[in-house]
Structure 1
Amino acid sequence: MLRYLLILTFLPAQALLAQSPMSGSEFDSYTRGKTLFYGFNGQIYGVERYLPNRRVIWSFLDGNCKEGVWYERADQICFIYEDRLDPQCWVFTRSGEGLIAQFEGDPAATELYEADEIGEKMVCLGPEVGV
């Protein structure tokens, strides 16, 4: 028993404390009015601007922005975008470095993390115009 207690002593406190999913009100309070960059496997994945009334604008940093809305469902925050009406649901938790988002709460699925300031801006180009 003492051996296990010693092992637990050396684990990071963050690993010992299970993070509970953020509620919709906690998520709204944290994100409203912010523009957050998200990373995946050490690379920038995308950026999202959080507007009033649970509206969002998402971009993969390619100048193509999609407007959407989010809502709470069970322990997940779900997003619906103008070009994709099937909900994209994530379990959001907070770490010492910011948000962590796990797709559909599945440990084997994509996990995004809030990236530090990267010196980029969210750029949304206008609609494509033909000749």
Structure 2
Amino acid sequence: MIRLRHLALLAVVLPNTLLAVDGKPLTPEEFEAYVTGKTLLYGTEGAEYGGEDYLPGRKVRWSYLDGDCKSGFWYAQDQQVCFIYEDRPDDPQCWSFYLDGGKLTALFENDPNGTELYETGISNEPLFCEGPEVGV
């Protein structure tokens, strides 16, 4: 009886941990399943870094949490997830994502000394984005 309970618990827990145990990067499909429909907040080196809305159809909206948001999209390139943003259409930002303790860790692959970001939370609200600047 106890073993059946443990198996039932594993059936619930294992899909949520994906590949965290063996340290392999998430596949783009696993990444998509984890993030779609969420707003994730990220930190680095103990400080707040930014947040991203992960919208359907692999669309995204990034902000350094300053009210300025950049829209874009992501695509799979081998086992990496690459982002293209409206202000840098010719400069893909490629990352490897891992689950660590049930939260994402992201390693920037464009730089050999790559930035490491980690999930600090999930927001129930989309990012705050100010409207476009208008001039006189």
- The answer, yes or no, to whether TM exceeds 0.5 is yes
User: Is the alpha carbon distance of 1:118 and 1:37 closer, same or farther for their aligned partners in structure 2, counting shifts above 3 Å?
Assistant: same
Separation (CA, whole Å) in 2 of partners of 1:71 and 1:38: 20
Whole-Å separation in 1 of the counterparts to 2:99 and 2:124 = 23
- The one of 103, 108, 111 equivalent to 1:103 is 108
Distance change >3 Å, CA 28–CA 127, structure 1 → 2: same
SS in 2 for 1:67: strand
Structure 1 residues 106 and 81: CA distance shift in structure 2, 3 A: closer
Matched length: 115
The percentage of counterpart residues that share the same residue type is 55
Contact 2:37–2:55 under 8 Å retained in 1: yes
| Structure 2 CA distance for aligned equivalents of residues 61 and 120 of structure 1 | 13
What residue is the counterpart of 2:133 in the other structure?
Answer: 128
Query: Shift in Å at residue 97 of structure 1?
Result: 4.2
Q: Which residue matches 1:65?
A: 69
What are the ranges of 5 or more consecutive residues in structure 1 without an aligned counterpart? 1-16
Aligned residue identity for 1:90: W
1:69-88 mapped onto 2 (5 Å cutoff): 69-85=73-89, 86-88=91-93
Higher relative contact order (CA 8 A, sep 6+): 2
> Per-residue deviation at 1:109?
1.4
8 Å contact kept, 2:58–2:75 = yes
Task: Give the match's secondary structure for 1:77.
Answer: strand
Question: Does the alignment pair 1:90 with 2:95?
Answer: yes
TM-score normalised by structure 1 residue count = 0.80
